[in-house]
Amino acid sequence: MSNDASYDIAVIGAGYVGVPHAQAFAEAGKRIVLVDVLPEVVDAINRGESHIGDVPSERLKPLVESGAIRATVDPAVVADADAIVIAVPTPLSPQREPDLSAIERAAASIGPHLRKGHVVVLESTTYPGTTKEVLQPILERESGLKAGADFHLAFAPERVDPGRTDFTMSTTPKVVGGIDESSTEAAAGLYRGVVEDVHTVSTAEAAELSKLLENIFRSVNIALVNELAQLCDRMGIDVWEVVDAAATKPFGFMSFKPGPGLGGHCIPLDPFYLSWKAREYDFSTRFIELAGEINNNMPYFCRSVISQALNHGAQKSLRGSKILILGVAYKSDIGDVRESPAEKILMLLRTAGAEVAYHDVHVAEFDGLTSVPLEPENYDCVVIVTAHSGIDYADVVRRGKVIVDFRNATKGAEVDGKVWKL
């Protein structure tokens, strides 16, 4: 890194990826500037207040106070940094097509401030070809510089897993692929002081596809076990017991758990980035589509399980029943509700005429509702959608009338005719 620039790295996008990055780089001695379009996010970071669960304010504040991290809405600041890491959202359009508008806008905003020698790395999850076909032309157009000759350009997928504590950015290997060899090397050098293991690949496309493979692998395997859960329901077999038994095989099997549907910003969306791109090559990605179909259907299957449980357990229909959803975040012990299956389940139950409330210690407000106290006895049915730790599920079973458990949280506390599981 040069000593002339005010910052070692400018991180574009101060979200679930950008803020933990800033923290990891800053704790490794780098000077970081976070750039975001939201003034409220920028102001909060500059006060040392974190809006990202994985980065507690107590960790962020000293880094802000020491000057290791600052935030701004002004993209021109990238001129004062040696390297630029882009971590902006890559959602799907309502038609389930890639929406790269945030990458395009970020590129257009930093392009005019690029200078020779800059290292630009895209971390946002996307289809193979994005770095070269989308990012590179915008940066070149806006800067008048040539990627490769004047500045380095690479893709290095982000692997953050919100809530995970056993692996950090430093201990999770980083895949890096540049548009040419020197870009790969320059980008790899950026991570080497912070990440223990940097794995380089020969192209940006290989790096882009490697990230999609990781997420498609999860989506397909979750779909497989979700399909099995539906079959087990018909056959009267406990799918959880089956998965646990199969998982005793010490080789050749990897355990995936069934659940009420996919959630989060990655697994439900990213696979469709590849199906979309594959169409350009006259290729249909059948595993991705099938997995999407099975996983998307899970909330509907869950509604039928809840309906059966009320029917047999309480002689009630969904219509008019009081239902408490326990846990609405997309996974345990975090407050992230993006794409959470709880949203669809809640909508389906409401549409069926049920009166729905929810309890989630990590989510104060959800879908127009406010989290209520955990009083299982006040409801016809308690539905465990997300199993946060710190909840006494045996007590929920004791106090509740009918319990529907999509996470096997009540394992060991099951009561026949009262607890219904996936």
Ligand X SMILES: NC(=O)c1ccc[n+]([C@@H]2O[C@H](COP(=O)([O-])OP(=O)(O)OC[C@H]3O[C@@H](n4cnc5c(N)ncnc54)[C@H](O)[C@@H]3O)[C@@H](O)[C@H]2O)c1
Contact between 260 and ligand X by CB under 6 A: the answer reads no
Stretch that binds ligand X, among 119-127, 250-258, 342-350, 390-398 (CB under 6 A): 119-127
> How does DSSP classify residue 417?
T
Q: Which of residues 41-60 bind ligand X (CB under 6 A)?
A: 41
CA angle 172, 174, 179 (to 5 degrees): 170
Member of 8, 158, 233, 343 binding ligand X (CB under 6 A): 158
The C-alpha atoms of residue 63 and residue 339 are separated, in whole angstroms, by 32
> How does DSSP classify residue 79?
G
Member of 11, 45, 88, 119 binding ligand X (CB under 6 A): 88
The C-alpha atoms of residue 117 and residue 333 are separated, in whole angstroms, by 42
In the residue annotation, 232 being an active-site residue is answered as: no
The C-alpha atoms of residue 211 and residue 219 are separated, in whole angstroms, by 13
Closest CA to 389 of 115, 138, 165, 72: 165
Cβ 285 to ligand X, closest distance in Å?
A: 18
Per the CB < 8 A criterion, the answer to whether 349 and 380 are in contact is no
How far, in whole angstroms, is CA 293 from its chain's centroid? 19
Contact between 156 and ligand X by CB under 6 A: the answer reads no
Contact between 360 and ligand X by CB under 6 A: the answer reads no
Member of 125, 219, 226, 321 binding ligand X (CB under 6 A): 125
Contact between 267 and ligand X by CB under 6 A: the answer reads no
Handedness of CA 27, 28, 31, 32 (dihedral sign): negative
Catalytic residue (one of 232, 266, 302, 381): 266
Quick note: the x/- pattern for ligand X over 22-41, rule CB under 6 A, is: -------------xxxx--x
Pick the closer one to ligand X by CB: 5 or 103: 103
Member of 5, 7, 9, 18 binding ligand X (CB under 6 A): 18
Cβ 37 to ligand X, closest distance in Å?
A: 4
Size of the site for ligand X (CB under 6 A): 28
Which SS3 state, helix, strand or coil, does residue 357 take? strand
Contact between 124 and ligand X by CB under 6 A: the answer reads yes
Q: What is the DSSP string of 157-217?
A: -----TT--SS-TTTS-EEEEESSHHHHHHHHHHHHTT-S-EEE-S-HHHHHHHHHHHHHH
Pick the closer one to ligand X by CB: 17 or 337: 17
> How does DSSP classify residue 246?
H
Contact between 12 and ligand X by CB under 6 A: the answer reads yes
Contact between 271 and ligand X by CB under 6 A: the answer reads no
- Return residues touching ligand X (CB under 6 A): 12-18, 35-38, 41, 87-90, 102, 105-106, 109, 123-125, 158, 160, 162, 265-266
Write out the catalytic residue numbers.
266
